[in-house]
Structure 1
Amino acid sequence: MNLSILYRGPLASCNYDCPYCPFAKRHDPPELLRADREALERFVSWAEASRDVGLSVLFTPWGEGLTRRWYRDAIVALSRLPHLSRVAIQTNLAARPDWLAEADRDAVALWATYHPGQVTQDRFLARCRRLDELGVRFSVGVVGLPEHLAPARALRAALPPETYLWVNAAEGHRYPPEQEADWTALDPLFGYSVRPHLSLDRPCHAGETVVSVLGDGTVRRCHFIPTPIGNLYDGSWRSALAPRGCTNAVCDCHIGYVHLKPLGLREVFAGGVLERIPAGWPDEYQTTTAAPAS
């Protein structure tokens, strides 16, 4: 059995105050941080013991995880497991990446987001250069707000071609054709993000080969369908895995729609689904075209 897990613990604090994020500059009380650490340590122990399952793990914290030592320790420990193929995390790269020298660089990866106005571009690029020096796979992305276009263009020009830069459509923002073309010139796959994907009753890998796990072990099909299908720690999730259609009308977040079977994005991102790196990047993307509407 091979299983991808999107893990999200109680952590909801972040060191940035992005105006488009509800968790900006949120501070978790000590008791919540302690609960988050204990939940993560329990998850790592489960992963270490579950040697009959081929694992891959993406941490999707509401806040910033890598400023917390226990996330760094967890990623190092998980990367060394022989039955784990990939461990990745969504991060703003605020934490120095030198700790990754202790991890298995063949198994670890980062999904990094650049937030103009929160960090200088020089500082962010220095983090990216250090990741390259360490031999760590990573993608870089931005939220596609109009005020981010110029910084995103400068970032793309400064990054090596081998680094994939993705763009997330901003929630609630409409993109007329000329704006969509501007962002697609930076991310040839932006078309998949710019419009929601019809998903009701469509087959999805979620709940079959990929699941969402909360800090208490609750297993869901994905982050966007709240109905539990079992618990990680009592083993009830195993019998719940099955092919099934989506119960939501639309899916508009990459970590969800990348698993919709009709879109075929698991093949587009083969080998880099968790860290959001397309297969064949950059050689197969010399001509930028928008993705078809769904």
Structure 2
Amino acid sequence: MDLTLLYRGPLASCDYDCPYCPFAKRRDSTEQLRADRAALERFTEWAGAQTEDRLSILFTPWGEGLVRSWYRRALVELSHRPHVRRVAVQTNLSCRTEWLADADPGTLALWCTYHPGQTPYDRFLAKCRDLAARGIRYSVGIVGLADHLDAARRLRADLPDHVYLWVNAAEGHTYTDAEAGLWTDLDPLFPYSRTPHASAGLPCRTGESVVSVDGAGTVRRCHFVPAPLGNLYDGSYRAALRPRACPLAVCDCHIGYVHLETLPLYDVFAGGVLERVPASPPTVPG
């Protein structure tokens, strides 16, 4: 079975305090961190044992995972499993990068977000260049707020041409055509993020070949549909896997709408869906 898993454990703490993020500077207690570590180690052991499947895994923690040693270990370990096609994580890239020397760069990838005001620009750029030197696949993105535009332009100028710079529409923000045009100049795929996608009744890969998993092993079709399909560890979720239409009115997050079968994004990101790396230089959707 080819299966993509979006894992989100209990971790909710972050080392940044972005004003547009509800999880900024949240502190997890020692007990919460221990629970997150135990949950991740259980998931990693399970994934490593699924040798009859072909797995693609994206870690999408509410907080910043790579500042925690157990996330770095999980990525390294899973990157060397022959049945793991890709293992990736969403990260602010605040962690050190030396640990990547132990990973398989053919399997591991990073989805990086730059947050102006939270880290010096030169420090973030240096880490991006280090990823490139190590042969790590990665994308870099930014939230499309007006006061981020200059930083985004600077990033686009300084990053290697092959590195995709994506722009996420700011939550709750409405863009004029002129504003959207400025962001589309930097990210030709910004129109997909600009407005939520009507999704009710449309076919989606989630619940069939893509699932969401929480720290307890509860499997759902995606992060945004709460109905459980079963449990990962007792295998009960497998009988529930089948084609499904989206039950929600709209889908407004990339990790959700990228799986809609009515959008061409599996072709756009062929080979790089999890790390948000396009197969070729992107063009504005027609």
Distance 1:163 1:149 in 2: 18
Distance 1:83 1:160 in 2: 31
Distance 1:269 1:105 in 2: 18
Corresponding residue for residue 94 of structure 1: 94
Q: Secondary structure at the match of 1:261?
A: coil
Distance 1:143 1:34 in 2: 31
Q: TM-score normalized by structure 1?
A: 0.96
Mapped pair 1:46 → 2:46: yes
RMSD: 0.8
Corresponding residue for residue 62 of structure 2: 62
Corresponding residue for residue 2 of structure 1: 2
Amino acid at match of 2:251: C
Amino acid at match of 2:50: S
> For residues 234-265 of structure 1, what are the alpha-carbon distances to aligned partners after superposition, in whole Å with 9 as ceiling and x for unaligned?
00111110001000000000000000000121
Percent identity of paired positions between Structure 1 and Structure 2: 65
Distance 1:27 1:177 in 2: 39
Distance 2:264 2:177 in 1: 24
1:136-155 pair list within 5 angstroms = 136-155=136-155
Q: Secondary structure at the match of 1:118?
A: coil
Distance 1:50 1:262 in 2: 30
Amino acid at match of 2:39: A
Corresponding residue for residue 103 of structure 1: 103
Corresponding residue for residue 127 of structure 1: 127
Corresponding residue for residue 162 of structure 1: 162
Corresponding residue for residue 275 of structure 2: 275
Shift of 1:205: 0.2
Which 4+ runs in 1 deviate beyond 4 A? none
Q: Secondary structure at the match of 1:143?
A: strand
Corresponding residue for residue 232 of structure 2: 232
Q: Secondary structure at the match of 1:122?
A: helix
Amino acid at match of 2:266: R
Distance 2:267 2:215 in 1: 30
Amino acid at match of 1:88: A
Shift of 1:160: 1.0
Amino acid at match of 2:96: R
Amino acid at match of 1:206: T
Q: Which runs of 5+ in 2 are unaligned?
A: none
Q: Secondary structure at the match of 1:11?
A: coil
Shift of 1:214: 0.2
Shift of 1:120: 1.2
1:249-264 pair list within 5 angstroms = 249-264=249-264
Shift of 1:53: 1.0
Amino acid at match of 2:93: L
Deviates more, 1:261-270 or 1:186-195: 261-270
Equivalenced residues, count: 286
Q: TM-score normalized by structure 2?
A: 0.99
Shift of 1:98: 1.2
